[in-house]
Amino acid sequence: MRKPGQSISTLLFDWDGTIVDSADLGLIAYQCAFAELEAVFSQEVYEAHYSPNWHATYEALGLPKEKWARADDLWRLHYDRQTVRLIDGAAETLSSLRRNGYRLGVVTSGNDDRVSREVQQFGLMDLFEVIVCHEHICRRKPDPEGLEIALARMDSKPAQSAYVGDAPEDIQMGKRAKVLTVGVRSNYPSSVRLSSSAPDLYLASITELAGHFPGVSSPE
């Protein structure tokens, strides 16, 4: 198993479930959207098949494709009516990593306007060199496109980089991009399947990152 060490200088993060505690908000938004669409929402199916690729979730829930665009709009409407909060200790951990020399970025399935608003809301904008969102890619997770875009923009090599996420698709994407993969447990239903995707590191909390990434070593 690959181990984190002195070679890692770039840390890229998923957003929902990894930095912001949005699992309950997302579930409520799904429930409200399906109710307005007069479509059946199965909690059991949602928990078994939830994916950051929400089209895969729609498909598992049996929502007809012609309703997906309207479901997207309704989900955002109901999500935005709620108040999101950071994962406990996330801001402090990110700030500490940045002070210790790591270059940070975000690669997420979330929409650019929402994620950028939340990054600014929590005062994290100065910490991230890049933020790659749904609108910036053509291929969804677990395709590595989003990570490859971020690495290219930062001029970072895969061997120098790690990706931190809470879903199996995050780990699969990281492996395909040939970066170190770090799985962090979250409240999203897909998190129960996270360890089976075999991340290089599996953590119970984002606050544990500092113990594995204590600082960037100066090149010899």
> In a 3-state reduction of DSSP, which class is residue 120?
helix
Range of the structural domain that residue 96 is part of: 10-21+85-212
pTM here is: 0.93
Kindly state whether residues 16 and 71 are assigned to the same domain: no
**What pLDDT does 219 receive?**
53
Does residue 136 fall inside a structural domain? yes
Q: Are residues 171 and 90 part of one domain?
A: yes
Rounded to whole angstroms, the Cα distance separating 32 from 71 reads 10
Q: What is the mean pLDDT of residues 85-90?
A: 97
- The angle, 0 to 180 degrees and rounded to 10, between the axes of the packed helices 68-80 and 112-121 is 10
What is d(CA 54, CA 59) in angstroms, rounded to the nearest whole number?
A: 9
Is the confidence at residue 1, as pLDDT, over 90?
no
In 3D, which of 23, 56, 28, 25 has the Cα closest to residue 41? Answer: 28
Helix (H, G, I), strand (E, B) or coil at 128: strand
Q: What's the pLDDT tens digit per position in 30-50?
A: 999 999 999 999 999 999 999
Q: What does the alpha-carbon distance between residue 121 and residue 56 come to, in Å, rounded to a whole number? A: 29
CA pair distance 40, 61, nearest whole angstrom:
8
The packing angle between helices 23-36 and 68-80, to 10°, is 130
Asked, for residue 207, whether it belongs to a domain, the answer is yes
Residue pLDDT, tens place only, 123-150: 999 999 999 999 999 998 999 999 999 9
Mean pLDDT value of segment 99-119: 96
On whether residue 38 sits in a domain, the answer given is yes
Name the pLDDT band for 2 (thresholds 50, 70, 90). Answer: very low
| CATH classification of the domain holding 147 | 3.40.50.1000
Quickly state the pLDDT bin for 6 (edges 50, 70, 90). Answer: low
Q: Assess whether pLDDT exceeds 80 at residue 3.
A: no
Calculate the average pLDDT of the chain: 94
Residue 151: its H or E element: helix 145-154
